[in-house]
Amino acid sequence: MHGSAPPIEPRQDSARPRRIHSSQSSANDAGSAGAAPLVRLDHLDTLWFQVTGTICNLRCVHCFISCAPDNDSFGFLSLAEVEDWLRRSEKWGVKEYYFTGGEPFMHPDLAAMLERTLERGPASVLTNGTLLPARALKPIARTARAASYSLEMRVSLDGPSPETNDPIRGEGTFDRAMDGVRKLLAEGFLPIITATQVWEPERDEEVRQAFVARLRSLGYENPRLKILPSLRIGREAARIRPYTDEERVTEAMMEGYEENQLLCASSRVVTNRGIYACPILIEKPAARMGSTLEEASRPVRLDESACYTCWLHGAICSNYGGIGQDVS
C-alpha cells in the first residue's frame, strides 16, 4: 500500500511495546526446559477484588475458574473488608480497582463498595449482565455520575447472537445480558462488551462486525468491544483441550519481553482466602501470595500453563488489553 514501510527493529524498554501475536513468536522454539521465570511486581497499579468469590448465577462452559451457583470454594468479601483493603492500598499508590467474581452483582453491598472505591480511584466491574435489576443499578449509576473517576462496566458475552452465545453461557443468557446492556445504556454507562474468542481466529472481524451491528440495534451507536483469548484451564480445558507441555513460559521467552505487559507485574487479587497473583489463577494454590500486600509483593513465578496465554497476548484482563487484529 505505501511505498517505504519503516524497517523493523527489536523493542526497547523506553515504551510499552505492541502485543506479541502467536504468528510473530514461537514459544516452542524456545523449548520448555528449565525453571519458569520470575516476574517482579513493578508497581501495584491495580488491585482486584474477588468480591463474590467463585459464586456465580451462571455456569459457563468455558469458565477458567469453574464459577457456579454451588461453587463456594471462594466466598464473598464483606464491605468492611473491602474498605480495609482500600485504606491499606493508599500507601501503595494504587491507580485503579477492579471488581470481579463470580458475579459481582450477587453481592448485596456492591453499591456501597463502589461508592467507597470511587472516592479513591477509578473502578471497573466485570459482570455477566444478567442480574441488573433497577434497585441494584440505580444507586450505582447515581454514584458513577457524581464521581470524578470513571466507573467502567464490563459485560461478558461470547457471541453476537443467542445461537453463538447461549451454548457457552447458558440458555437465555444472551437476551438477558442484552437486556442488561440496555439498562446500563439507559443509566448513562458505556459498557465494554467483553467476548472470549470461542470462534476461530480467522473469523474475528466477522464476529466483531456482528457484535457491532447487534449492539447498534440496541441504540449503542459506538459500542466498546474487547476480545479475550480463551484460557484452557478450568472447564475450558475439558471443552477444547488443556495446554500442552510445550505451552509454557521459559526464561528464553522473557528475553527482550516487556514484563509490564503481564498482569502480575502490576496487579494483585484480594480474595476471602488471601491475596493471589492474578484473577485467572485463584484456584492454583501456588498462586496464593500471602495475606498482606507486603507478603504479596514478592515476585510471581510464571509456572502455570495459563501464563502462556497472558505472555502471548499481554494484560488480557485489563480494560484495554485483548486481541487486536490487523485490518489494514
Partner 1 sequence: MSPEPRRIAVFGGVYSNHLALAAAIEDATARGAEALYCLGDLGAFGPHPDRVFPLLVDQEVRVLRGNYDDSIARGLEDCQCGYTDPRDNHFARLSYRYTFRNTHERWRRWMARLPGEIRLDVDGARVLMCHGSPRRMNEFLWESATSTQFLTWLAREHEADIVLATHTGIPWQRSLPGGGLFANVGVLGRPANDGRTEVWYALLDFGDATEAPAVLEFVPVSYDHERLAGEMRAEELPEEFVETILTGWWTTCIEVLPARERALGRF
Residues of this chain that bind partner 1 (CB under 8 A):
2-9, 11-12, 14-19, 43, 45, 89-90, 92-96, 120-122, 148-153, 188-190, 205, 208, 222, 224-225, 260, 319-322, 324-328
**Gap between the Cα atoms of 98 and 149, Å rounded:** 13
Q: Between 76 and 257, name the residue whose CB sits nearer to partner 1.
A: 257
Closer to partner 1 by CB, 149 or 199: give it.
149
Q: How far apart are CA 64 and CA 310, in angstroms?
A: 13
- CB of 276 vs partner 1, minimal distance in Å: 22
CB atoms within 10 A of CB 227: 21
Residue 178: C-alpha distances to residues 84, 102, 216, 218 (Å):
35, 19, 11, 8
Shortest gap between Cβ of 129 and partner 1 (angstroms)? 16
Q: Are strands 123-127 and 151-156 parallel, antiparallel or unpaired?
A: parallel
Residue 17 beta carbon to partner 1: minimum distance, rounded to whole angstroms: 7
Q: How far is the CB of 148 from partner 1 (least distance, A)?
A: 7
Which residue's CB is nearer to partner 1, number 104 or number 322? 322
Toward partner 1, which CB reaches closer, 7 or 285? 7
Task: Closer to partner 1 by CB, 244 or 325: give it.
Answer: 325
For partner 1, the closer CB: 231 or 323: 323
H-helix or E-strand spanning residue 227: strand 224-228
Neighbours of 186 (CB within 10 A): 12
Q: How far is the CB of 325 from partner 1 (least distance, A)?
A: 5
Shortest spacing between CB 324 and partner 1, in angstroms: 5
The C-alpha atoms of residue 237 and residue 162 are separated, in whole angstroms, by 23
Q: What is the smallest separation between the CB atom of 1 and partner 1, expressed in angstroms?
A: 8
Q: Give the Cβ contact number of residue 163 at 10 Å.
A: 9
Which of 177, 47, 179, 52 shows the shortest CA–CA distance to 105?
52
Q: How far is CA 238 from the centre of its chain?
A: 21
Set of cell numbers at residue 191: 459498557
Q: Which lies closer to partner 1 via its Cβ, residue 4 or residue 23?
A: 4
What minimum distance in Å lies between the beta carbon of 98 and partner 1?
12
Q: In what order do the strands lie in the sheet with 224-228?
A: 224-228, 192-196, 151-156, 123-127, 96-100, 46-50, 267-271, 274-276, 288-290
Nearest-CA neighbor of 220 among 245, 256, 251, 193? 193
Distance CA 105, CA 175 (A): 17
Q: How far is the CB of 261 from partner 1 (least distance, A)?
A: 10
- 221: its cell numbers: 451507536
The SS3 of residue 23 is coil
Identity of the residue, 234 or 314, whose beta carbon is nearer to partner 1 in the bound complex:
314
Nearest-angstrom CA–CA distance, 166 and 25:
34
Q: Which CB sits closer to partner 1, 169 or 268?
A: 268
